[in-house]
Amino acid sequence: MGTLKRIAVLTSGGDSPGMNAAIRAVVKTALYYDIEVYGIYRGYHGMVNDLITPLKREDVKFILPLGGTILKSARSEEFRTTEGRKKAYENLKKHSIDALVVIGGDGTFTGAKFFMNEFDFPVIGLPGTIDNDLFGTDYTIGYDTAVNTVVSAIDKLRDTAYSHDMVFIVEVMGRDAGFIALRSGLASGSGKILIPETKTCTDELSERLRKRIERDETSAIIVVAEGDDFGGAAEVKKIINERFPDLKTRVTILGHIQRGGTPSAFDRILASGLGYQAVKGLMDGKSGVMVGSVNRKIEFVPFDRSIKHHDKINIELKNIAEILAS
């Protein structure tokens, strides 16, 4: 590929705190190297429907601490079709765009993979999801903030749990992965963590509760990832109620509150560094890769590898959390 003159950036999939910091880093780095930047609004939907406009320095002023994404995010059924992707390609060509930065999760990278293979178009990905379920980066942009949001919510719930001798079953996000549950569970001192990566054993859960009751501890926090094999917080409450009818149980589903808010310093730093590297990667002719940070080193991981690899969950953390909370 010749010299890069104009790139475009989009955010896609579930928003995550730090996406704006990443957009800012992409825009500022590109402008620094005399590359023009276009913003594509509403993800792939905007690429198909030509929601594409130039982004200037002023457009990214003050966005570093903002949650959400100024470029908005959307799902696009059209982009799943060859015709939709062709329209998207023609729109990029119409604006003389030479390369693309996509910020999102596995769905975003899957779309990017199809697109770049079909049209031989350079694409680099940035890991933007609170779920942390991408291989090739220790942390995804937004994960740290989401974990902090969960921890501060659990700290508050614990006050009521203790005061009223209640068991709170807190459902956190993670449709396919338990990363948020695991770290927030450990950081909040929660007694039990249920995640999709391990089989949930209700007898073990009952045994822990029984031991607590014996010690006259009738308040507890159980963290459940929404994708847990046992079926989520409501199911867990049901089984506890059946086995311990005298225990007061409450379900709290934290929901989309976990996706919002100002990004933590960690997420701002991560997004800034990865955004910078994405532009540098495109300048070096890289494509079809996600930029990640592994052991504090920048890695460019092929999309295929970054998608749907959950093997890096640290099960030892779960054991530590449960021993420390016993």
Residue with smaller CB distance to ligand F6P, 98 or 133: 133
Residue range at the interface with ligand F6P (CB under 6 A); choices 47-55, 110-118, 124-132, 203-211: 124-132
The burial of 147, by beta-carbon neighbours within 10 Å (0-12 exposed, 13-18 middle, 19 or more buried), is given as buried
Rounded distance between C-alpha atoms, residue 113 and residue 157, angstroms = 42
Residue with smaller CB distance to ligand F6P, 89 or 139: 139
Minimum gap (Å) between residue 234 Cβ and ligand F6P: 16
Query: Which residue among 26, 102, 169, 173 contacts ligand F6P (CB under 6 A)?
Result: 173
Minimum gap (Å) between residue 173 Cβ and ligand F6P: 4
Minimum gap (Å) between residue 129 Cβ and ligand F6P: 5
Rounded distance between C-alpha atoms, residue 190 and residue 157, angstroms = 11
Q: Which of 20, 249, 17, 314 is nearest to 150 (CA)?
A: 17
Task: Tell whether the torsion through CA atoms of 22, 26, 27 and 33 is positive or negative.
Answer: positive
Whether 165 is a known active-site residue: answer no
Q: Tell me, by CB under 6 A, how many residues bind ligand F6P.
A: 9
Phi, psi of 229 (to 5 degrees): -60, -25
Residue with smaller CB distance to ligand F6P, 31 or 253: 253
Q: Of 266-295, which residues contact ligand F6P (CB under 6 A)?
A: none
Minimum gap (Å) between residue 23 Cβ and ligand F6P: 17
Q: Is 47 in the site for ligand F6P (CB under 6 A)?
A: no
* 213, two tokens: 């009751």
Q: Shortest Cβ contact with ligand F6P: which residue?
A: 14
Residue with smaller CB distance to ligand F6P, 35 or 141: 141
Rounded distance between C-alpha atoms, residue 302 and residue 299, angstroms = 10
Query: Which residue among 104, 174, 196, 275 contacts ligand F6P (CB under 6 A)?
Result: 174
Q: Strand pairing partners for 300? A: 291
3-state secondary structure of 13: coil
Query: Which residue among 36, 98, 131, 228 contacts ligand F6P (CB under 6 A)?
Result: 131
* 105, two tokens: 């999760």
Q: Of 87-106, which residues contact ligand F6P (CB under 6 A)?
A: none
Q: Strand pairing partners for 38? A: 8, 54
Query: Which residue among 12, 20, 108, 129 contacts ligand F6P (CB under 6 A)?
Result: 129
Q: Strand pairing partners for 104? A: 127
Task: Tell whether the torsion through CA atoms of 112, 83, 72 and 16 is positive or negative.
Answer: negative
Interface with ligand F6P (CB under 6 A): 14, 129-131, 173-175, 226, 259
